[in-house]
Amino acid sequence: MSSSTAPNERLLRVPGRELELHWRSSRHARRLLTLSVAGVFVALLARRPEFAGVAAPALLLLAAGRVQRRPARISVRLRPSQTRAFEGELVALDVRADGQADDHVRWTLHPGRDIDPGDVTAADGAQVRFTFTPERWGRRQIGTMDVVLRDRWRLAEGHLTVILPDLDCYPAPADQRTKVVLRRLPNRLGEHPARTSGDGIEFFGVREYVPGDRQRSINWPASTRRGRLQVNTFAAERSQDVVLLADATSDVGEPGSSALDLALRGAAAAARAYLEGRDRVGVITYQWGGVSWLGPGLGRRQLYRIIDSLLASNAGYARGASFRRLPRAALPPGALVVVFSPLLDQRFVEALRDMRERGFTLLVVDVLNAEPPVRWRREDRLAKRIWQMEQEAIRFSLRELGVPVVHWDGVESLDLPLAAHTRRPMAARR
């Protein structure tokens, strides 16, 4: 929080909103009134004028406060530094009041849910800046701002409350630098070295010179050894289609590190990593009421489109969602499908099996980090054991189908669980 006297030019461009003040006596005024009334009362009853003298300063202060002019309305300008932020990102909120004359302005921020206001929630001055941090993804209401005007004598207070705008909070992407690359890549220019020769920069092999080859690609040591001109060849560089599949049907675990939180953070990290590698990335969200999808695309703007699509996910019971009805644009053939799911919904698991049988290359990131509560009854322990065995069976059946399942706890980098699959190109077994 900071208080500033310098006019903020960007804030001045925001149209001010005229708001009505509700004036009432301050506690200070009520205390002065009590002293003056009690003093005069005692003076009259006890016939002791010195008590009227005790009441006199309080009466003077009260009467002085009454003759002050108080504005009925003031103009309030609000401007958050951004309307979209990632989890944990510091956001500033500039506020400014106009038309308060000589009155003292006090701002008090009442943060909304999952908004961390930091240490200071109140500030004085005509223009101040608050800072806060959204703690969890989603469309968050920043909160409300109480504005209190106090007159010169601090005897009257004008109150008004401003509802602050909403903030779109994006899930903070996890750390991911490495990428899973398919062995067979579509014939499209990209950054992944393919298993065919082309115009890339990664060494692929040596072959005999043919007329038309560039002279600078001649490998002179090899030519000397073999007695004929040899040229270096390089691997072609291709891109791939990546479809991120986020399972939003189950949200279990502590808020802030639940399965859905981890799924969205993981999907955001994967989207950012693959888009930086010039891959086309799309997203499918398996959620309440069916499936929503965004076709693969390129570029930084696609990252925000993907996160916007993920934000719309609503944890709940998915009725009859099926990937069979998805158009080809949403799930292009030969795409790498990276799944973020706690694998709790049996129908979702069936849908994964179905996709695998249709020939898609899948990689499941298991984001389940919660277990049923431990109790002391034997039946409860038995039920928990059965549940654990069911979970193990689900993961085992997927592995048997050729779908690798890796577990991610949400704390470590995504590179660690994916390390076994990022070292070499991933084969699509049929």
Partner 1 sequence: MTGAAATRVAPVLLGAGCIVWAAVPPAHSGYAGFALFLAILGVAAGVLRLALAAVPEPEESYLLSGPVRAWLKFLGTLRLVPWEEGALVAILWLEVLHPARPWHTAVLGVALIGYLLATHLAESGASPEALRPQIRVLAAGAGLLALGAGAGMIPAVGPGPGSALLRLVAAGALIAAAGLVLPYVAAPRPPSSGRGTPGRW
Q: Would you say 57 or 88 has its CB closer to partner 1?
A: 57
Distances (CA, A) of 36 to 24, 49, 204, 275, 336: 19, 13, 96, 73, 81
Binding-site member from 22, 63, 199, 382 for partner 1 (CB under 8 A): 63
Instruction: Return the number of the residue (68 or 422) whose C-beta is nearest partner 1.
Output: 68
Q: Whole-angstrom Cα distance, residue 265 to residue 411?
A: 11
Residue closer to partner 1 by CB (options 62, 339) is 62
Minimum distance of partner 1 from residue 114's CB (angstroms): 12
Shortest reach from residue 250's CB to partner 1, in Å: 24
A 10 A CB-CB count for 58 gives 20
Shortest Cβ 29–partner 1 spacing (Å): 9
- Looking at the Cβ atoms of 31 and 407, the one nearer to partner 1 is 31
Interacting residue with partner 1 among 107, 127, 275, 311 (CB under 8 A): 127
185 burial type by CB count under 10 A (0-12 exposed, 13-18 middle, 19+ buried): buried
- CA distances (Å), origin 197, targets 85, 201, 278, 402: 43, 10, 19, 29
Q: Which stretch binds partner 1 (CB under 8 A): 65-73, 200-208, 219-227, 396-404?
A: 65-73
Asked if residue 400 binds partner 1 (CB under 8 A), the reply is no
Comparison of 35 and 229: residue with beta carbon closer to partner 1: 35
**Selected binder of partner 1 within 49, 118, 165, 333 (CB under 8 A):** 49
Give the residue with the Cβ less far from partner 1, 99 or 277: 99
If the CB atoms of residues 52 and 401 are measured against partner 1, the closer one turns out to be: 52
Q: Considering only 54-62, 354-362, 383-391, 411-419, which stretch makes contact with partner 1 by CB under 8 A?
A: 54-62
Maximum Cα interatomic distance, the chain, rounded to a whole number of Å: 130
Query: What is residue 147's three-state secondary structure?
Result: strand
At residue 402, the 3 state secondary structure works out as coil
Nearest Cα neighbor of 279 from 337, 323, 362 is 337
Binding mask 137-166 for partner 1 (x = CB under 8 A): -------------x-xxx------------
Name the token pair of 273: 């990593």
Q: Which of 56, 312, 329, 419 binds partner 1 (CB under 8 A)?
A: 56
Neighbours of 71 (CB within 10 A): 18
How many residues are present in the chain?
430
Binding range to partner 1, per CB under 8 A, among 118-126, 165-173, 183-191, 364-372: 118-126
Asked whether the CA dihedral 220, 223, 229, 235 is positive or negative, the reply is negative
Instruction: Please give the C-alpha separations between residue 257 and each of 254, 261, 369, in angstroms, as whole numbers.
Output: 5, 6, 8
Q: Rounded to a whole number, what is the distance in angstroms from the first to the last CA of the chain?
A: 59
Which of 9, 10, 102, 215 contacts partner 1 by CB under 8 A?
102
Residues 6+ apart with CB under 8 A from 122: 1, 106, 107, 108, 109
For partner 1, what does the binding mask look like between residues 8 and 47, x meaning CB under 8 A? ------------------xxx-xxx-xx--xxx-xxx-xx
Report the distance separating Cα 201 and Cα 208, nearest Å.
Answer: 19
- Compute the least distance from the CB of residue 39 to partner 1, in Å: 7
Near partner 1 by CB under 8 A: residue from 70, 84, 104, 184: 104
Count of residues of this chain found to bind partner 1 when the rule CB under 8 A is applied = 50
Contact set with partner 1 (CB under 8 A): 5, 7, 26-28, 30-32, 34-35, 38-40, 42-44, 46-54, 56-61, 63-65, 67-69, 98, 102, 104, 106, 122, 124-127, 150, 152-154
